[in-house]
């Protein structure tokens, strides 16, 4: 996209946000890349480039080989816990403060929207905020999880000695029903669904733009790389999200 068309797209998106009576953001891994968190599928850098997610991030893998599961997830918890929001997260939080954004639906587990100051965040894949015992439901905040690891590197419940799992949705698990119901309600009410940093490939979340379109709303896409909704988008920006969203915010001033 040329600089001129980029500027035109930013102005168009700012106008759509200004005119919308209900704007909702839907975010994926791409919004956190500028914070230093790799996405999942980019060749050469994606998290799944050198590891099979079915072997380390599936609920069956957690149950059958918790040592291998935690060898992958333990350093990930450490790395994500120290990451800070970037200007894209901050721009969405500011839009909400201005009354121009009703909420954020996110596929990310990194808590960066909350850290940036967003108030209404629907985490459809859970978050690293906590971990829970799979037997007695004891819940541990992120800072306390490190104390639960045994000599094999497996998190064990302090109350009943059963396995503890991060409160994130693994492959093979259903998405939390309450979060998905809220996400679908927001998408159906949205006059503008702002899709940021998502390839819109992973269902059922990838179906939310269809919910908005079917309800008469519009879809705007800000992400690098193609999506299945590009032809239906009212505006499409493909620059760095940490540049594009602050530019939209500035155009609204």
List, by residue number, the catalytic residues.
125
Cα separation, 47 vs 134, in Å, equals 26
Cα separation, 74 vs 83, in Å, equals 15
**Coarse DSSP helix, strand, coil percentages of the chain, rounded to the nearest 5 percent:** 45, 20, 35
H or E stretch at 28 = none
Do residues 195 and 209 make contact, with C-beta atoms less than 8 angstroms apart?
Answer: yes
Tell me the three-class secondary structure of 71-117, residue by residue: HHHHHHHHHHHCCCCCHHHHHHHHHHHCCCCCEEEECCCCCHHHHHC
Cα–chain-centroid distance for residue 131? 18
């Amino acid at each position: 996209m040329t600089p001129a068309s980029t500027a035109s797209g930013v102005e168009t998106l700012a106008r759509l946000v200004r005119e919308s009576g209900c704007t909702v953001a839907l975010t994926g891994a791409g919004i956190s890349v500028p914070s230093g968190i790799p996405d999942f599928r980019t060749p050469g850098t994606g998290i799944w480039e050198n590891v099979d997610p079915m072997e380390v991030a599936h609920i069956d893998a957690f149950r059958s080989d918790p040592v291998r599961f935690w060898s992958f997830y333990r350093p990930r918890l450490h790395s994500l816990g120290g990451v800070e929001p970037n200007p894209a997260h901050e721009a969405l939080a500011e839009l909400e403060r201005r009354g121009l954004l009703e909420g954020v639906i996110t596929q990310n587990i990194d808590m960066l929207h909350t850290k940036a100051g967003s108030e209404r965040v629907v985490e459809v894949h859970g978050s690293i905020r906590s971990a829970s015992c799979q037997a007695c439901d004891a819940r541990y905040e992120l800072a306390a999880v490190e104390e639960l690891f045994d000599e094999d590197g497996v998190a064990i419940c302090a109350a009943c000695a059963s396995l503890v799992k991060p409160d994130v949705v693994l492959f093979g698990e259903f998405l939390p029903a309450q979060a998905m119901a809220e996400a679908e309600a927001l998408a159906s009410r949205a006059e503008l669904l702002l899709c940021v940093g998502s390839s819109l490939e992973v269902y059922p979340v990838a179906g939310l733009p269809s919910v908005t379109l079917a309800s008469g709303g519009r879809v705007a896409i800000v992400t690098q790389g193609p999506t299945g909704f590009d032809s239906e988008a009212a505006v499409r920006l493909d620059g760095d999200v940490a540049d594009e969203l602050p530019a939209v915010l500035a155009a609204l001033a």
